[in-house]
Amino acid sequence: MPYVNIKITREGVTTEQKATLIRETTAMLARVLNKDPQTTHVVIDEIDTDNWDLAGESMTHHRKLEGITHKDAIGNQPRGNCNTKGYHHESIRRTHERNSLDRIS
**Mind telling me the catalytic residues?**
2
- CB contact set of 42 (below 8 Å; sequence gap of 6+): 4, 6, 21, 22, 25, 26
Neighbours of 97 (CB within 10 A): 10
Residue 54 and residue 91 in contact, taking contact as beta carbons nearer than 8 Å: yes
φ/ψ of 43, rounded to 5, equals -120, 135
